[in-house]
């Protein structure tokens, strides 16, 4: 494998307890051509001093906003990191996980094997859920819980940010000036949608990190979570989907074509109409693409039932 420049983007918030252990797992990677950029999102504990020490001790680590502390929330913080770094490939790191020693090299091999010309690509993997002491062997996703087509990605995200690698071509499609990233729900779903619409989403069918679960899973003001938290009420998932679809239409509607354009345009219209019959027409003409028939029926029913809530998103 030829060496490529990999930027690792880490957002921190009150993360002093596990931060050094996570950074150690990155430093111990079997792939060495990386640089770690850390952005703090307004910590009130000793995290900032800890980052200063970590960056001072390793030239491959940069404290990106040492003199400009500002709370942007988890999505805004990661998007700010992405906007202000340059590399061939980008990875995202939480402050409290632990990377398996071949995470970068395994993901990069999958990326390079998938690249064709200048195609925008997002590679993501499975992950192992562990406790505070990194004990556990439960995989987050079953073999069926991943998909790559745009329509399925629109209705449910299967990409976890801390397992992602994206290439420069995909980053170049992210219009940081046009998109108000601090108002996006989550960066991983947004980036995965862009990749599925204009490039490719690729799954690495193995775990690459130990994903620590604990009461302090917080980055900025947002809980550590994948897009559709299994504990989140289903109607909340529907609202999130319609909101991000509306945002996606505003940002990329002119570039979409065919069925993808029809789905985004019509589900985005739900924020403009306070009429249950309009919502029913959309659901019938453009059926939801959930993993199960029951999921599709429930999703469609909520779109019609909660038409007033959805119209207030606009």
98 in Cβ contact with 179 (< 8 Å): no
Q: Is the pLDDT reported for residue 146 higher than 60? A: yes
Give the per-residue pLDDT at 68.
Answer: 84
> In this prediction, what percent of the chain has a pLDDT beyond 90?
73
Q: Render 220-288 in DSSP notation, one character per residue.
A: TTEES--TT-TTS-HHHHHHHHHHHHHHHHHHHGGG--HHHHHHHHHHHGGGT---HHHHHHHHHHS--
pLDDT of residue 220 exceeding 50, the answer is no
Q: Per mean pLDDT, which of 101-105, 182-186, 289-293, 294-298 is the most reliable? A: 101-105
In residues, how long is the chain? 314
Residue 223: predicted pLDDT? 41
Percent of residues, the chain, with pLDDT higher than 70: 90
- Predicted confidence at residue 236, as pLDDT, reads 83
Measured in whole angstroms, the distance separating CA 133 from the mean position of its chain's CA atoms is 25
If you average pLDDT over residues 125-147, what whole number do you get? 89
**What is the reported pLDDT for 214?**
66
What global pTM score does this model have? 0.90
Domain locations along the chain: 6-223, 234-311
**Position 202 pLDDT exceeds 90:** yes
Query: Which has the minimum average pLDDT: 86-95, 119-128, 168-177, 244-253?
Result: 168-177
Q: Does residue 55 surpass a pLDDT of 90?
A: yes
**Cα–Cα distance list, 34 to 104, 143, 191, 299 (Å):** 9, 30, 21, 42
Question: Stretch 245-267: mean pLDDT, rounded?
Answer: 95
| Homologous superfamily of the 6-223 domain (CATH) | Spore Coat Polysaccharide Biosynthesis Protein SpsA; Chain A (3.90.550.10)
68, exposed or middle or buried, with CB in 10 Å at 0-12, 13-18, 19+?
A: exposed
Confidence of residue 180 (pLDDT cuts 50, 70, 90): low
Rounded mean pLDDT of the chain? 89
């Amino acid at each position: 494998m030829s060496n490529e420049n990999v930027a690792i983007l880490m957002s921190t918030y009150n993360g002093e307890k596990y931060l050094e252990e996570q950074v150690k797992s990155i430093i111990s990677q079997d792939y060495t051509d990386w640089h770690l950029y850390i952005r703090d999102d307004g910590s009130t504990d000793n995290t900032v001093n800890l980052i200063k020490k970590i960056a001072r001790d390793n030239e491959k680590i940069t404290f990106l906003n040492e003199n400009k502390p500002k709370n942007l929330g988890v999505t805004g913080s990661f998007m700010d990191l992405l906007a202000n770094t340059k590399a061939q490939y980008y990875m995202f790191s939480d402050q409290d996980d632990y990377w398996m020693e071949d995470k970068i090299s395994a993901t990069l091999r999958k990326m390079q094997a998938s690249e064709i010309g200048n195609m925008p690509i997002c590679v993501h993997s499975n992950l192992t859920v562990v406790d505070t002491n990194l004990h556990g062997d439960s995989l987050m996703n079953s073999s069926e819980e991943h998909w790559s087509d745009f329509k399925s990605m629109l209705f449910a995200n299967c990409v976890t940010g801390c397992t992602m690698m994206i290439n420069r071509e995909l980053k170049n499609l992210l219009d940081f000036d046009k998109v108000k990233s601090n108002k996006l729900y989550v960066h991983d779903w947004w980036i995965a949608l862009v990749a599925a619409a204009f490039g490719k989403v690729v799954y690495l069918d193995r775990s690459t990190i130990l994903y620590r679960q604990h009461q302090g899973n917080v980055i900025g003001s947002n809980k550590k979570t994948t897009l559709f938290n299994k504990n989140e009420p289903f109607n909340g998932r529907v609202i999130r989907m319609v909101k991000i679809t509306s945002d996606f239409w505003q940002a990329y509607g002119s570039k979409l074509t065919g069925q993808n354009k029809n789905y985004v345009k019509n589900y985005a219209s739900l924020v403009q109409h306070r009429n249950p019959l309009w919502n029913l027409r959309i659901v019938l003409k453009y059926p939801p693409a959930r993993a199960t028939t029951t999921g599709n029926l429930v999703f469609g029913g909520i779109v019609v039932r909660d038409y007033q809530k959805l119209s207030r998103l606009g």
